[in-house]
Amino acid sequence: MSEIFTLALWIGLVFNAAPGAVFSESLRRGVRGGFWPAFAVQAGSLAGDAVWAVLGLAGVGALFAVPVLRVPMTVGGCLLLAWLGVTGLRDAAFPRPSSAGLPRENRSGRGAVAVGAAMSLGNPWNVVYWSGAAGAVSAVLGEDAGAGSLVVFFAGFMASSLAWCFVSAGLIAGLRGALPPVGVRVLEAACGAALIVFAVLLAARLLPGTP
């Protein structure tokens, strides 16, 4: 079981450390608000990933290959990414007041958690990854993965992912402290543009013949 847990730790690190839409949104919010907004996006995304993990490991991932489910969810995810991207460009061009001057409920991170979860849940292609996780565990064991092995794999992946949430948010908070105001705006605009690109790439996966 220890080798399964170790495998899951490494896979979780690779999965989460790869630059993507969630990191772009974490960076966008973190350079404005610091550690907690960045962490909240990461944690929300992790909650969404947990949902896909349970579905994929339970063997029901094939349901999301059905266009009636996959297409609306993907379109919703594209619209969310595009909206976040436009928001990033707008905030870079017309900076909002510092988070210290905002109402307490706007600093709590609840909105960032919801956005992170929606970003993950709005990408049903994530379940494809998890549908193949059982095969990865079986390859390590040399046999069919049982429920216990999959639980260990899930626990290892989630532990690695949670650790990455802290590391990523800490790095972003450190970067925020080192950037001048103009640097914050430039980075915020870059994140906004990246989110729009990710929206287009996600939409492209709906085209016929796209894997």
Q: Tell whether 113 is covered by a domain.
A: yes
Closest CA to 12 of 165, 159, 166: 159
Q: Tell whether 44 is covered by a domain.
A: yes
Parent domain of 95: 2-204
Q: Quick one: residue 154, left, alpha or beta (phi over 0 = left, psi -120 to 50 = alpha)?
A: alpha
Q: Tell whether 165 is covered by a domain.
A: yes
Model pTM score: 0.86
Q: Tell whether 211 is covered by a domain.
A: no
> What is the structure's pLDDT at 100?
42
What single string gives the DSSP state of each residue in 53-121?
A: HHHHHTT-GGGGGSHHHHHHHHHHHHHHHHHHHHHHHHHHHSPPPPGGGS-HHHHSSHHHHHHHHHHHH
Q: Tell whether 19 is covered by a domain.
A: yes
Burial class (CB in 10 A: 0-12, 13-18, 19+), 171: middle
CA–CA separation, 168 and 180 (whole Å): 20
Q: Tell whether 177 is covered by a domain.
A: yes
Check whether 92 has a pLDDT greater than 80. yes
Largest CA distance in the chain: 58
pLDDT tens-digit map of 46-55 = 999 888 888 8
Give the number of domains in the chain: 1
Q: Tell whether 24 is covered by a domain.
A: yes
Q: Tell whether 41 is covered by a domain.
A: yes
Check whether 44 has a pLDDT greater than 50. yes
> What is the structure's pLDDT at 16?
82
Q: How confident is the model at residue 184 (pLDDT cuts 50, 70, 90)?
A: very high
> What is the structure's pLDDT at 105?
36
pLDDT tens-digit map of 165-182 = 999 999 999 999 999 999
pLDDT tens-digit map of 102-151 = 434 344 467 899 999 999 998 887 776 776 665 666 666 555 556 777 78
